[in-house]
Amino acid sequence: MNNHYECIEASINGKLGLINLNRPKVLNAINRQMVSDILSVMEDFEENDQVRVIVLSGNGRAFAAGADINEMAADNAIDFELRNQFKDWDRLARIKKPIIGAVQGFALGGGFELALCCDLLLAADDAEFGFPEVNLGVMPGAGGTQRLTKLVGKTIAMEWLFVGKRISAREALQFGIINRIVAKEILMEETLKLAGEVANQAPLSIRLIKESVLKAVDVSLDEGMQFERKNFYLLFSTEDQKEGMRAFQEKRKANFKGK
């Protein structure tokens, strides 16, 4: 694994792959390099058997306060099309290992979109989410209108996107955008605890649960049920299923191997 990245810090700690957005002077404004760095590390983590859970966080006061406006102000439509501006974001959505995000301060615009790519989100009580793109005469382009709507429904999403509303941690919790609010001082500690808990589960269960839940967001119930069933069957060909059920019968803790 390459350990030096321009816009992020990456490391492995036990079963956790850690990614820290690292442009604190600009509140971790997301530029193309940063997305490419994140993707490159995530794909390394994806292939690394040691890593069971990926943790995404931001250095400094904010998670990420938006996209780097300077980088795109002069772009035109064809630049985006030829560059395939959001191709890395599509690959990010296909990462199969669980991603847990820790948000403090702002998660705005592209920062909110990045947070919405996480499977679980913890937020400090000072966290603020929002899509302010409308104030710049544009709109979210990396999944904001789609993922937010799937989460909170059309009515709320439409209003928030129309007026560029700032969403407090409490509202985010109320609308199911985040899993929990914790004191800012212990945000990382609590995030790592939760990540550790997930990392100790049977990895193939976690992998297929993630796949099935994400499927539920996209397909009809019937199709989702069929998909879930196949994944359920599939787990019965793993060693961890044998170990898990045997440990249950023997009243001991299971020792999962990810096989």
Partner 1 sequence: MFETVKYEVNNQVAWITLNRPEKLNAFTEQLNKDLERAVKQANRNSAVRCLVITGEGRAFCSGEDLAGVKEDMDHGEVLRRRYNPMVMELHKCDKPIVAAVNGVAAGAGMSLALACDFRLLSEKASFIEAFIHVGLVPDAGNLYYLPKLIGHAKALELAVLGEKISAQMAADLGLATKVIPLDRWEIEVTAFAEKLAAMPTTAIGLIKKNLKASWDHSLEEGLEKDAQAQRVAGMTSDHREGVQAFLEKRNPVFAGK
Residues classed as catalytic: 67, 110, 113, 133
Identity of the residue, 38 or 187, whose beta carbon is nearer to partner 1 in the bound complex:
187
Minimum CB separation of residue 198 from partner 1 in Å reads 19
Minimum CB separation of residue 118 from partner 1 in Å reads 21
Identity of the residue, 126 or 243, whose beta carbon is nearer to partner 1 in the bound complex:
126
Phi, psi (deg, nearest 5) at residue 165: -65, 140
Identity of the residue, 125 or 239, whose beta carbon is nearer to partner 1 in the bound complex:
125
- Do residues 63 and 104 make contact, with C-beta atoms less than 8 angstroms apart? yes
Name the residues that contact partner 1, by CB under 8 A.
125, 182-183, 185-186, 189-190
Minimum CB separation of residue 132 from partner 1 in Å reads 18
Minimum CB separation of residue 186 from partner 1 in Å reads 5
With 0-12 / 13-18 / 19 or more C-beta atoms within 10 angstroms meaning exposed / middle / buried, residue 94 is exposed
Helix axes 239-249, 203-218, angle to 10 degrees: 110
Q: Across the strands, what pairs with 100?
A: 55, 120
Tell me the DSSP string of 100-145.
EEEE-SEEETHHHHHHHTSSEEEEETT-EEE-GGGGGT----SSHH
Identity of the residue, 79 or 189, whose beta carbon is nearer to partner 1 in the bound complex:
189
CA distance 228 to 17: 27
CA distance 133 to 29: 14
